[in-house]
Structure 1
Amino acid sequence: MVNKKELSERDIENIFITPAIINAGWDLHKQIRQNVTLTPGPVIVRGEMSARNKKKKKFADYVLSWSPGTRIAVIESKDNNCTVSHGIQQALGYAEILGVPSAFSSNGDAFASHNKVPKAGEDIELEFPLENFPSPVELWERYKKLHNIKDKDEDLILQPYYSDGSNKEPRYYQVEAINRTIEAVANGQKRILLVMATGTGKTYTTFQIIWRLWKAKAVKRILFLVDRNILADQTLVNDFKPFGSVMTKIKNRKIDPSYEIHLGLYQALTGPDEFDKIYKSVSADFFDLIIIDECHRGSAAEDSSWREILDYFSNAVQIGLTATPKETEYASNITYFGEPVYTYSLKQGIQDGFLAPYKVVRIDIDKDIDGWIPPKGMVDDLGQEIQNRTFNQADFDRNLILNQRTKLVANRVMKLLNATNPYSKTIIFCENIDHAERMRKAIVNAAGKLATDNPKYVMRITGDSVEGKAELDNFIDPESKFPVIATTSDLMTTGVDAKTCKLIVLDKTINSMTIFKQIIGRGTRIDEENNKFFFTIMDFKKATLHFKDPDFDGEPVVIYNPGPDDDPVPPDPEDQDDDPDDKDDNTGQTGSKKIVVSGVPATIISERIEYLGDDGQLITESYKDFSRKQVQQEFTSLDDFLMKWNDANKKQVIIDLLEEHGVVLENLADLVGKEFGDFDLICHVAFGQPPLTRKERANNVKKRDYFTKYGEQAKAVLHGLLEMYADKGVTSIENAKVLKLKPFSDIGTPMEIIKNIFGGKENYENAVHELEDELFKKDITA
């Protein structure tokens, strides 16, 4: 008779839960997935150190699907020491992010159920025997009800995703974005808005949407509209590549009707003259589907041409993609497209662990904070008298150029890079093209040998620079070492997939929340292959105050209400923030030339480093402080820790547990001292105890009579283990494979040592455990 109380959670699944699901008609290989990782857990960054908080990883025990890509239920399993409904809240959390109506929990005795769409008179939550688990058809009907799927639309809804045969599959939020969009099309919605943070794979998501609609023959001809050549070219050869010969990029002033998938630039499709409006060369019903990438940019005055294209193809389904919905008193994407069918924010992406968190280095320069008043009669570098007024941060690098300030910024940037990695990809956002060029020169001088060894160490990548734009592909290519630093104004604000970018420098006045979000998005991609888990924002112009704005990552609110004669998305008013050109003369008045002054010193008067906290707010906290809090969450007191440490057969279990919280003991050793072992690092940082080095602990054991009960060969082995602990730490002696190394290999093989000297595996492991007890005897007082 099986005693359920003694079974593990996995045993409960294998013996009771899985058979019950299969008996209800579910296909084990096609419809049941176990141990499904939904999110990897957020990256914690403090100082230059980072680690994943695996305690916050989302991991579903079961995900049930009606067909591949159509998930309809989740089940959370628990061992039999828990109640039947113990895991239901956890299951509900997973059901919420997966957009499924059915959540279940089981301990092997029965099932607990939560149904978001109960029938009239039916309870939302109930419990039932194992043999009564719902059939696939029943749970599919629930899903259809939740998402308003009609029977006639099932073929479209269930159209398979594209697969290249690899194990790659869309992330949970991409599946949700794709499914919600397909469902909106099936329900006859013509205007659809999809909001996904930069770095979350909007183009891949778009490809799957188009693929499924196209394969299901819901649409035949598709136009993917972008506003930059590089976006079209990247899409053509990357995410959209499977379309192959049916896809083309619109060029040579011609829309070729022999293709079905068309990638086009606004600029290539229209212009100020009727001759430029080549979109009119095909009929208004030519395209069935139009995707507008970065649709927030479409409402800007210079980009307003997208509206006339959409108006012409008004019968087509139109899907707007953006990371930052445009919501001002003058413009609203939501007014045109409707409420987003799905939103995945930067905050959610960071909390899930799919996007890189940031730390902020805020730097205040004396002239920016205090302002600068030129002495009466002072002249600029051209000998022209400077207006006697207060110049402030808004003037610098627009009306007034203080060369020493530019030099100061460049030197501070290089100081950070040299202290971390001088080859970390860096983007410096400047006020305008002139400022970007001056910053490039200043970085060259500050970089010294790094710049002379390779003239492409720093490049100005702006719209007017042929040489700079030619290096853009190299900058974003992880395999290309150069350029390392790009100075820019507006060109790299959006659409540049620089996933290895580790440093963003803001020496630019940013009044627009939309532009700020786009700039921050340049650093949000995680690239594990190239060890990029977080990025740094160095802010010289108080731009990061936008992080404190509730609107930074909040829900967009429509504040533009068009009149009956207004355009659906009227142009924005001109914003100096987006204006690459200044019109200043040497008097500092509007419409004049810039004032250039070389001899005025500038000084950094304060710096502050802030990190992203659990609540998404910026906090000032060291890695030590963070680690102390995490350890104290797991262990209520020093005595509690000591008891669990000593009871652990292998200390690696405790170390792994702390790593799940984001506490990496190697990181603490870098801060406290590499001579200290894991035990002392934890006790010192978390509980304020004075640490002993590994060698001090080993010497304390040697002074005792501990070894006298062992024979000479056993003593030699234990002495060797003690020396290895002193050199490498406790985990190095817990694996029997260490016996293959010297000095143990001189004594015998691992098998000979364990069997002949210690009398078997159990005796050997007990001896190692006793050695650890001696090492960690209570030298520490609570």
Structure 2
Amino acid sequence: MDNKEKKSLSETDICDLFISPAIKDAGWEPVRQIRREVTLTPGPVIVRGNMSSRNKKKKKFADYVLSWEPGIPIAVVEAKDNNHTVSQGMQQALGYAEILEVPSAFSSNGDAFAVHNKVPAPGEEIETELPLEAFPTPDALWQRYKTFRGIDDQAEPLVVQPYHEDMSGKGPRYYQVEAINRTIEAVASGKRRVLLVMATGTGKTYTTFQIIWRLWKARKVKRVLFLADRNILVDQTLVNDFRPFGAVMTKIKNRKIDPSYEVYLGLYQAITGPDEEDKIFKNISRDFFDMIVIDECHRGSAADDSAWREILEYFSDSIQVGLTATPKETKYVSSSTYFGEPVYTYSLKQGIEDGFLAPYKVVRIDIDKDVLGWTPPPGMVDDLGQAIDEREYNQKDMDRILVLNQRTKLVAKRVMKYLNATDPYAKTIVFCEDIDHAERMRAAIVNAAGQIAIENPKYVMRITGDSVEGKAELDNFIDPESRFPVIATTSELLTTGVDARTCKLIVLDKTITSMTIFKQIIGRGTRIDEDNNKWFFTIMDFKKATQLFRDPDFDGEAAVVYEPGDDDDPVPPDPPPEEGDDEGGGIEEEPGTYKVRVSGVDARIISERIEYIGPDGNLITESYKDFSRKQIQSEYASLDEFLNRWHSAKKKQAILDELEEHGIVLDNLAAEIGKDYGDFDLICHIAYDQPPLTRKERANKVKKRNYFTKYGEQVRAVLTALLDKYADEGISTLESAKVLKLKPFSDIGTPVEIINDVFGGKNSFDHAIEELEQELFKPDESA
């Protein structure tokens, strides 16, 4: 084939005719060792307003992934057509090699291979070029991989132990492969304690299953204990990810460990407790378990004074793997306290960037009494008649020391306004300062929700440590198949590792200073659930908690987590304050603390802004006005396009509904620009810089024209009254026949009489309203 003919070939042709044959001729087996067109990441979900879509341009897609065994990738090859140079795809290949953590990257245009070797021998170049027929053999690249990963010959048999193959053919994601392989390699090298850090929603349980499966199949371990802290987690694990273990697996129950099984799943509290008779793990020998896996190990399971720590120390010779989504290091606990540094970390930021985790938008809301402070007038008393200290109360005091009932109602109304504008049945968690605040917030949301809460008593539930009824609904709340409860008000729900994968709204009305607690809260919303159309989640922040996103520690280097604490309750009570606890969530209410409660003090929202994750992973701040401009222009690229749509729409409300789907609530715009402006003028002014007219100005212009002369006296009276209603209330009054029930229309007749007798029927009435709207929004005011 001559050069001209070769340059006319597509990239796929180059692969089929030159690259694939060269790799196969080097001894690589198709399918088992050669995978083509491998999607590594699907690309991030982009959110603006209430719409979302994938940015497929950021999809990571490798032309070839070469594996020693399935699930053990060792090299990548990037292909280009022959109009590119041999090495033109190398930078792309290196990006994929970095994702997969492999030492060998290749680029080819069908003429030769460019090679990048991360572990060159002394005197060997890092990058070289090889003819097609000299592509390295599997053995050569396997030895290079072993050097790169520090795998010695003795560890090799365990490292190459096959994965469990899913009958669906759906393999593990790249980061799960890396987490599994890094753990197996650590165990193969003799390490007994291993920490894996994986963000919530990234499949820690599936990853754990493959680790246990490979070690168990290789007979490196015979008996394994998987410990979790919630019953639903154990039950789901039993029937889902761990199902292939079949008859050798059991759940520990009835406070008895049956020695006839090999894989045991259990709750911490099922095998230990505060009293000696609760510690049933001591009824078996110290060498009974070869491996213990601790789920959510950040919850104190390895703290020096923890009862759970006893389990680990009792079976001290076992291989122990800790799983966590929120590692941390405190002044009391160093990163080498128990498990040591993580063997692998997959962060929230990376998961969002890859597109495996749901991104978030942040709605920051400032309330006047929080930001500006509130000082009671001299001599003012609270609702119980107690004198109020004459000092300035600020955001940190709200709902801890000072309870402003109007403020609580304001938050509840804003939450329901958002839900009603998006999805009233979207699972929502409202984080409150304490149990008292959570109960007051529950009642306020019930009132704000109105009819939907009357029809469904479990629409809003307080799920706190003291509420038997609330805790009984926790599993229903996190079950995607269960519609109710929709909204959970809580203070400490976050500490349980609750997996509410359909959670679309997280409301923060809680002062948060702990990065660990903040990460746990954010983790409640990070799962993408395509089946339930959940692609992103919203954080509505009333207490400036989301400022922690800007802290370098938010998604920085991981360190081991061991916080003191021994909460076995799935929804623990509010913790007492700890002096000098700089990792806590702030001051907690002490039992019996007197709160100042005031009903008559008004509260209002003075600013709102929406922030999104930008291309660099940082939050982009946009004013509501800027955000609305972009959204309107995304729907209507030019003023002419918008005007055409507006004038052709029989019902203008349809356009307003469309914009609301983009997250544009025109009432919010009116609050910024001016409440006297109508929807049409707000849109034209915000998006296209048109000078706005007030509703009254538009109505008066119509009245001054000769437009009304063609109608009879009664029609003119109705249309004039409708114009006045528009001037006062807006476009919706023109498009609802209900307005005809009000004065002055009721003086003319009933709605049916007005439509039939005055206008001559429904069609004539609708036509007259359309003409009135055309006059209101005429582009040429001189006409």
Q: Displacement of 1:514 after TM fit?
A: 0.3
- Local SS of the residue matching 2:39: strand
Is the alpha carbon distance of 1:671 and 1:7 closer, same or farther for their aligned partners in structure 2, counting shifts above 3 Å? farther
For 2:540, the equivalent position in structure 1 comes to 538
1:458-537 superposed matches below 5 A: 458-537=460-539
Say if 2:109 is the partner of 1:107.
yes
Measured after TM superposition, the shift of residue 689 of structure 1 is 13
1:336 maps to 338
TM-superposed CA distance for 1:236, in Å, is 2.4
SS at match of 1:236: helix
Paired with 2:356 and 2:611, the residues of 1 have a C-alpha distance of 21
Q: Deviations over 1:499-536 (max 9, x none)?
A: 11111000111111001001001111111222211111
Q: Aligned AA for 2:312?
A: L
Other-structure match for 2:8: 6
* Partner SS, residue 297 of structure 2: coil
Matching residue of 1:285 = 287
1:124 positional shift: 1.3
Q: How does 1:302-321 map to 2 (within 5 A)?
A: 304-321=306-323
Counterpart amino acid of residue 327 in structure 1: E
Partners of 1:260 and 1:47 in 2: CA distance: 51
Q: Which residue matches 1:76?
A: 78
Secondary structure class of the residue paired with 1:439: helix
Distance in 2 separating the partners of 1:351 and 1:623: 22
Cα distance, 1:264 vs structure 2 = 2.7
Q: 2 CA distance for matches of 1:288 and 1:370?
A: 60
Runs of 4+ with >4 A deviation: 299-303, 557-560, 571-581, 621-630, 666-672, 687-690
Determine helix, strand or coil for the equivalent of 2:505: strand
Please, which runs of 5 or more residues in structure 1 have no aligned partner? 561-570, 586-591, 631-665, 673-683, 691-782
Q: Which residue is 2:257 aligned to?
A: 255
- For the residues of structure 1 that align with 2:659 and 2:48, how far apart are their CA atoms? 10
Partner AA of 2:589 in structure 1: D
C-alpha contact 1:437 1:460 (8 A) present in aligned 2: yes
User: Greater shift after overlay, 208-217 or 378-387?
Assistant: 378-387
Could you tell me which of 53, 58, 61 is aligned with 1:59? Answer: 61
Secondary structure, counterpart of 1:394 in structure 2:
helix
Alignment equivalent of 1:448, drawn from 441, 447, 450: 450
Mapped to 1, the partners of 2:608 and 2:661 lie a distance apart of 26
CA–CA distance in structure 1, aligned partners of residues 633 and 27 of structure 2 = 47
Q: How far apart are the structure 2 equivalents of 1:627 and 1:410?
A: 26
State the AA in 2 paired with 1:45.
Answer: V
Aligned with residue 547 of structure 1, among 538, 549, 571: 549
Quote the offset at 1:209 in angstroms.
0.8
CA distance in 2, matches of 1:221, 1:303: 27
- For residue 274 of structure 2, what is the aligned residue in structure 1? 272
| 1:581-730 paired onto structure 2 within 5 Å | 582-583=589-590, 592-621=593-622
Render the CA deviation track for 1:98-156: whole Å, top value 9, x for unaligned. 11111100000000101112222221111011011111111111111111222233231
Structure 2 unpaired stretches of 5+: 563-577, 635-657, 665-683, 691-783
- Kindly report which structure 2 residues correspond to 1:725-740, keeping only aligned pairs within 5 A, or say none: none
Q: Distance in 2 between the 1:505 and 1:670 partners?
A: 20
Do the aligned partners of 2:49 and 2:631 also contact (CA within 8 Å) in 1?
Answer: no
Identify the residue that residue 175 of structure 1 maps to in structure 2: 177
The Cα offsets for residues 54-79 of structure 1, whole Å up to 9 and x where unpaired, read as: 11110000011111111111100000
Match of 1:657 in 2: none
Structure 1 pair 596–36 and aligned structure 2 pair: CA distance change class (3 A) = same
SS of residue matched to 2:396 = coil
Distance 2:561 2:318 in 1: 27
What's the CA shift for 1:449?
A: 0.9
Q: Deviations over 1:246-282 (max 9, x none)?
A: 2223233222222222223332333333223222222
Give the deviation of 1:376 after TM superposition.
3.4
After superposition, the Cα gap between the structure-2 partners of 1:334 and 1:612, relative to the gap in structure 1 and judged at 3 Å, is: farther
Structure 1 position 584, deviation (Å): 6.2
Please say if 1:20 is aligned against 2:17. Answer: no
Deviation track 1:436-471 (CA, whole Å, cap 9, x = no partner) reads: 121111111000011112112111222332322222
- Aligned partner of 2:137 in structure 1 is 135
- Give the SS at the match of 2:68: strand
Residue 376 of structure 2 is aligned with which of 374, 377, 384? Answer: 374
User: Does the 8 A contact of 1:157 with 1:183 survive in 2?
Assistant: yes
Letter of the 2:181 partner, please give it.
N
Partner secondary structure for residue 51 of structure 1: strand
- Matched residue, 1:40: 42
How far 1:626 moved relative to its partner?
7.5
Give the SS at the match of 2:178: helix
Q: 1:417 matched to which residue of 2?
A: 419
CA-CA distance at 1:667 after TM superposition: 9.6
- Kindly state the Cα deviation for residue 401 of structure 1 after the two structures are TM-superposed: 2.0
- 1:226 Cα deviation after fit: 2.1
For 1:326-349, what per-residue CA distance to the aligned partner results, in whole angstroms no more than 9, with x for missing partners?
A: 211112354321111111111111
Equivalent of 2:437 in 426, 435, 438: 435
Provide the C-alpha distance between the structure 2 equivalents of 1:464 and 1:689, rounded to a whole number of angstroms. Answer: 55
The Cα offsets for residues 539-567 of structure 1, whole Å up to 9 and x where unpaired, read as 0111101001011001136899xxxxxxx
More deviation in 194-203 or 252-261?
A: 252-261
Equivalent residue letter for 1:583: E
Counterpart in the other structure of 2:200: 198
Letter in 2 for 1:614: P
The 8 Å contact of residues 494 and 522 in structure 1, kept in 2 or not, is answered as: no
Shift in alpha-carbon separation, 1:580–1:436, aligned structure 2, 3 A: farther
CA deviation after TM superposition for structure 1 residue 575, in Å: 6.8
Looking at structure 2, the residues matched to 601 and 669 of structure 1 have their Cα atoms a distance apart, in angstroms, of: 31
> Is 1:490–1:578's contact at 8 Å kept on the other side of the alignment?
no
The answer to whether the Cα contact below 8 Å between 1:362 and 1:539 also exists between their aligned partners in 2 is yes
Equivalent-residue separation in structure 2 for 1:353 and 1:521 (angstroms): 15
Listed one character per residue, the Cα deviations across residues 388-432 of structure 1 (whole Å, up to 9, x for unaligned) are: 333322222222222211111100000111111111111111112
Q: Please give the alpha-carbon distance, in whole angstroms, between the structure 2 residues aligned to 1:623 and 1:31.
A: 49
Secondary structure of 1:608's counterpart equals strand
SS in 1 for 2:353: helix
Which residue of structure 2 aligns with residue 637 of structure 1?
Answer: none
Q: Which amino acid aligns with 1:601?
A: D
Instruction: Report the Cα distance in structure 2 between the residues aligned to 1:580 and 1:255, rounded to whole angstroms.
Output: 42
Q: Does 1:185 align with 2:187?
A: yes
Three-state SS of the structure 2 residue aligned to 1:192 is strand
CA contact (8 A) 1:457 1:483 kept: yes
Residue 160 of structure 1 pairs with residue 167 of structure 2? no
Change (3 A) 1:259 1:552: same
Q: Which moved more, 1:301-310 or 1:173-182?
A: 301-310
| Identical residues among aligned pairs (%) | 73
Q: Is the 8 A contact 2:302 2:338 kept in 1?
A: no
**Higher alpha-carbon deviation: 427-436 or 487-496:** 487-496
SS in 2 for 1:45: strand
Residue 527 to residue 282, structure 1, CA distance change in 2 (3 Å): same
**Equivalent residue, structure 2, for 1:230:** 232
SS of equivalent residue, structure 2 residue 207 = helix
Root-mean-square deviation (CA, aligned residues, Å) is 3.1
- Is the CA contact (8 Å cut-off) linking 1:301 and 1:572 kept in structure 2? no
**Which residue of the partner structure matches residue 209 of structure 2?**
207
1:581 Cα deviation from its structure 2 partner: 6.3
Distance 2:163 2:415 in 1: 45
Give aligned pairs, total: 629
- Report the TM-score, using the length of structure 1 for normalisation: 0.76
8 Å contact 2:78–2:89 — kept in the other structure? yes
